[in-house]
Structure 1
Amino acid sequence: MSIIKINAITVPADSGDELAKRFAARAGAVDNQDGFEGFELLQPTDERTTWLVVTRWRDEESFQAWSTSRAFAQGHAQESGEAPAQKPVGLSSELWSYKVAGGSAGNTK
């Protein structure tokens, strides 16, 4: 049964585009991780300033293996030897964990 990990990132109202840009620059970085099933970056469409990073994993072990991996550390580093340090965009973040308890496939047409 898949598990869902949601990173709720609160950003200043004028920083959402920068957050999206940074995620776009790393698109596909986790795709080949064992147990990874999918990713979505959700942008608020109202006055909220909390963006959601939704990932789906085969199981908790797969997520934990990725979150303690070198690839995770490199992808989340604030600076590297090749580029100047980037200030964090988020003011705060919170990790939420869920399992699928029900749902439907929807209309596939």
Structure 2
Amino acid sequence: MTVIKINAITVPKDAGDELAHRFAKRAGAVDGQDGFEGFELLKPTDDREQWLVVTRWRDEESFQAWLNSPAFGHGHRSESERSGGEAPKPVSSHSELWNYEVADLSQG
């Protein structure tokens, strides 16, 4: 059963472009993980400040294996940190992880 993990990240309006830029820099960091099925970064189109990072996994075990892997830590470090530099200032003020599974699916 596919599981969905949504990281709801609160980002001030003036920092959204920077968040998108940082995600683009680590594009593909999770792609090779066993059980990984997909990723989307959703940008709000209304007055909300919550960006959604949506990942799909074959099962909870696959997600947990990635969460506890060295690849997770490496993928969540900035380009500067991976080069031995300092971490950039965070662009978000809050985040929370939402957990879902697919209850119904329609494909067109």
TM-score, normalization by structure 2 = 0.92
Partners of 1:100 and 1:6 lie apart in 2 by 13
The 3-state SS of whatever aligns with 2:34 is coil
Quote the residue 1:91 is aligned against.
Answer: 93
Structure 1 residue ranges, 4+ long, deviating more than 4 angstroms after superposition: none
Q: How many positions carry a matched residue from both structures?
A: 106
| Larger fraction in helix | 2
Quote the residue 1:74 is aligned against.
Answer: 74
Shift of residue 81, structure 1, vs aligned partner: 5.6
Quote the residue 2:53 is aligned against.
Answer: 53
TM-score, normalization by structure 1 = 0.92
Partners of 2:73 and 2:12 lie apart in 1 by 24
Partners of 2:68 and 2:82 lie apart in 1 by 21
Partners of 1:9 and 1:26 lie apart in 2 by 17
Partners of 1:81 and 1:36 lie apart in 2 by 23
CA RMSD after TM alignment = 1.3
- Please list the CA deviations of residues 78-101 of structure 1 after superposition, one character each: whole Å capped at 9, or x if unmatched: 662623321111100000000000
Partners of 1:95 and 1:8 lie apart in 2 by 6
The 3-state SS of whatever aligns with 1:23 is helix
Where do 5+ consecutive residues of structure 1 fail to align? none
The 3-state SS of whatever aligns with 2:41 is strand
Give the 3 Å change call, closer, same or farther, for CA 104–15 of structure 1 in structure 2: same
Quote the residue 1:4 is aligned against.
Answer: 4
Larger CA deviation: 37-46 vs 72-81: 72-81
